[in-house]
A = this chain, B = another copy of it.
Amino acid sequence: MSPSHIHVPTDCRTVTEILSRVGDKWSVQVVVQMGEGPKRFNELRRAVTGISQRMLTLTLRGLERDGLVTRTVYPTIPPRVDYQLTGLGCSLLKTVRGLGDWAIEHRDEILTARRRFDASGDEELDRERPDAA
């Protein structure tokens, strides 16, 4: 019943905390993979290039803890575990896509700005040490 439309300082920390979830190295990529439906552990591992077994486990635990994914164990041999986005997870995915689209849309602008910035830094160095060239 707390008025969520009123911004109190507490919200800032909460938002930052949740943003750090999104900002961590793997969560978003894992969530995106599950967007297409339930996935098994090694299926995710192959889909998310570069992730280690350890980090996939930790990432999935974190997402499960926050109620973003469900973990379903089928006690077969060999064992089978399915991970699936919850409603909350789906809604996060949608929101995150907004950011993803922004990134793709402005990718070139950013890369260009970066090159300009780096280049202008080099110029300053050249002015300090004209004999460097």
Kindly provide the distance from the CB of A116 to the nearest chain B CB, expressed in whole angstroms: 8
Q: Please indicate the chain B residues that have their CB under 8 angstroms from the CB of A23 in the complex.
A: 19-20, 22-24
Tell me if A36 is interfacial: C-beta within 8 Å of chain B: no
Task: Mark A86-114 against chain B: 1 for CB-CB distance below 8 A, else 0.
Answer: 00100110011011101111111110111
Name the contact of A96 in the complex, choosing from B2, B66, B99, B114 (C-beta under 8 A): B99
Which residue in chain B gives the minimum CB-CB distance to A100?
B15
Q: List 14 A-B contacts (CB under 8 A).
A: A4-B107, A14-B103, A15-B100, A18-B110, A22-B23, A23-B24, A64-B117, A65-B118, A67-B109, A67-B114, A67-B116, A67-B117, A88-B110, A95-B102
Ranked nearest first, the 4 interchain pairs of A and B with the lowest CB-CB distance are A23-B23, A67-B113, A18-B103, A65-B117
A→B interface (CB under 8 Å)? 2, 4, 11-12, 14-16, 18-20, 22-25, 28-29, 64-67, 88, 91-92, 95-96, 98-100, 102-110, 112-114, 116-118
Which residue in chain B gives the minimum CB-CB distance to A108?
B2
Q: Please indicate the chain B residues that have their CB under 8 angstroms from the CB of A113 in the complex.
A: 65-67, 88
Q: Given the complex of chains A and B, what is the CA–CA distance between A19 and B64 in angstroms? A: 21
Which residue in chain B gives the minimum CB-CB distance to A23?
B23
Q: Given the complex of chains A and B, what is the CA–CA distance between A29 and B12 in angstroms? A: 9
